[in-house]
Amino acid sequence: MKRKLLFLFTYSANNVSGNTGKNTEYMLYYFLNDNDNRYHYHKHYIKGRILLMKNLQKILVALTIVLSIVGCTGENEKNNVNEVASNEAKQKDSINKTTESDDDSTRLDNHLDNNNEKTIQITDCAGRKVEIEGTAERIVDLTMIEGVRTLIQLGAQDRLVGMSQYDHQAFNPDGLFKKTYFIVSRFKSEMEKITNVGSHTEPNIEMVLSLEPDVVFVEYNRKEYADVLQKQIDIPVVCVGGYGSFNYEVFSIVGEIVGKEERAKELIAFAKEKIKLVTDITDKIKEEDKKSIYYWVRPLIDDPRTDAYYEAFELAGAINVASNAENISESMFKVTKEQILAWDADYIFMHSSFTEENVKGWHTIDSIKQDSIVKGTKAVIDNHVYPLRGPMRGWDIATQAAEVLYIAKLLYPDKFIDLDVEQNGNEILEKFYNINGLYTDMSQKVNLYEWK
């Protein structure tokens, strides 16, 4: 529905949601719908004075017209009303032309353009129904890098106007997570200048609102928080991400929000095609012939943990020995070394994407093999202990797809003699990130096994 801007002004208010006790300035846009001649208004938070209209005189004239409509009385009321209506029509046309041609009103024009598009109705990753007015041009991310990474892969990272302090850590080349976020950190030059809105769990609401986002992303498992935040800021909030599996719907959902549906379909089809190189073979392996694995997550020497939900293992034809554990949870959980010995897996995969090796308190491949208890497992005896990039702080479908090939060739070398893991891995990551040689670099960073 096309709308024409009639006039704009600001007002101040106290005790506005999220800003109790603070003087908050709002901007009112009054529109006329061409289709039905009804008037509508939209309020939008701004920080500071009016930013978008450089011709203040036109605004004052518009306000005068409104006051005249409200205050005209007496014997000449009919003539005054006719005159006001005429002036209003002229002023409406003048301001509409001004806003269409004025470069300084770009932000307002973008807002008007969004209102002209159809409403997007999506079901987010938490199963919430969310409506968004048109394609999102301005996005604030409050996920643990999940939303940022998805936008990068879709080629829509330019829509980001704000992200959390946690997201910013991913782009610190010398930080604790330099291996965890090795791939997305390649986009540091674009990302480091994006506004920091504070904690991803308790963001600066005023800062978020000042960025005028069309949508806000939060983690997939924060459904209740998403509902509260959406009501508080009156802006659509979408849960993004998933746990342990190939959550292709992330691309479909975000792709629709940013108008990148075709790119989303392309990435999903490509990932499935590469994984099929493995599943065409592993799907035919009998259950009793499948290899068992133990996944050592965040390999602290005195605090062993594992994860029962990493789909790359299943697709590669492995049986995760922790999948039937009594204390199983959606996230990683603690186990004992005695339990690891009792499970006696054929292979042990050590999570190696969190921190550097040889850091005090963290296992290496060699220290696992030398552990007084774990060295009795079949995996150690057969020298089948390998590093794994694994998921960390979010689930990257691109690296998971490459890892399916990596795991499968380690478990069943005779069945995948001709599978070039490095070549296919580079093709997968280049497709998702448009950077060549990423898998090779990642492999060297986390010391993945390399076939001669």
Kindly state whether residue 265 falls inside one of the protein's structural domains. no
Residues 397 and 415 in one domain: yes
Residues 310 and 440 in one domain: yes
Q: How far apart are CA 14 and CA 29, in angstroms?
A: 20
The reported pLDDT for the residue numbered 14 is 41
The reported pLDDT for the residue numbered 330 is 61
Kindly state whether residue 269 falls inside one of the protein's structural domains. no
Domain count, the chain: 3
Residues 22 and 166 in one domain: no
Sheet holding 215-219, edge to edge: 195-196, 160-163, 139-142, 215-219, 237-240
CA proximity to 251, closest of 167, 164, 149? 149
CA proximity to 312, closest of 241, 428, 407? 407
CA proximity to 96, closest of 136, 53, 42? 53
Residues 292 and 427 in one domain: yes
Kindly state whether residue 268 falls inside one of the protein's structural domains. no
By the 8 A CB rule, do 26 and 43 touch? yes
Residues 95 and 204 in one domain: no
The reported pLDDT for the residue numbered 359 is 62
Give me the mean pLDDT over the 141-170 stretch: 92
Q: How far is CA 52 from the centre of its chain?
A: 29
Kindly state whether residue 450 falls inside one of the protein's structural domains. no
Kindly state whether residue 169 falls inside one of the protein's structural domains. yes
Residue 396 pLDDT greater than 70, yes or no? yes
Q: How far apart are CA 99 and CA 414, in angstroms?
A: 67
Residues 320 and 236 in one domain: no
**Could you tell me the CATH number of the domain that includes residue 237?**
3.40.50.1980
Query: What is the per-residue pLDDT across 69-95, written as a single tens digit (0 to 9) for each?
Result: 444 444 444 444 445 445 545 444 544
C-beta contacts of 275-279 below 8 A and 24+ residues apart? 275/246, 275/315, 275/401, 275/404, 277/405, 277/419, 277/424, 278/315, 278/316, 278/317, 278/404, 278/405, 278/408, 278/416, 278/419, 279/315
Residues 236 and 284 in one domain: no
Residues 34 and 157 in one domain: no
For residue 119, the surrounding DSSP H or E stretch is: strand 119-123
For residue 194, the surrounding DSSP H or E stretch is: none
Residue 399 pLDDT greater than 70, yes or no? yes
Query: Can you give the residue range of the structural domain that contains 338?
Result: 280-445
Residues 406 and 425 in one domain: yes
The SS3 call for residue 253 is helix
Q: How far apart are CA 350 and CA 356, in angstroms?
A: 13
Residue 136 pLDDT greater than 80, yes or no? yes
Residue 394 pLDDT greater than 70, yes or no? no
Which pTM value belongs to this model? 0.74
Q: Percent of the chain beyond pLDDT 90? A: 51
Residue 374 pLDDT greater than 50, yes or no? yes
**Half-sphere exposure (Cβ direction) of 354: Cα atoms closer than 13 Å:** 15
More confident residue, 162 or 179: 162
Residues 291 and 408 in one domain: yes
Kindly state whether residue 271 falls inside one of the protein's structural domains. no
For residue 444, count CB atoms less than 10 angstroms from its CB and return exposed for 0-12, middle for 13-18, buried for 19 or more.
exposed
**Which of these three, 94, 115, 136, is where a domain ends?**
115
Residue 344 pLDDT greater than 80, yes or no? yes
**Which of these three, 115, 137, 166, is where a domain ends?**
115
For residue 43, the surrounding DSSP H or E stretch is: strand 39-46
**Which of these three, 86, 115, 144, is where a domain ends?**
115
Residues 284 and 431 in one domain: yes
Mean pLDDT across the chain: 78
The SS3 call for residue 237 is strand
Kindly state whether residue 239 falls inside one of the protein's structural domains. yes
Kindly state whether residue 377 falls inside one of the protein's structural domains. yes
Residues 235 and 319 in one domain: no
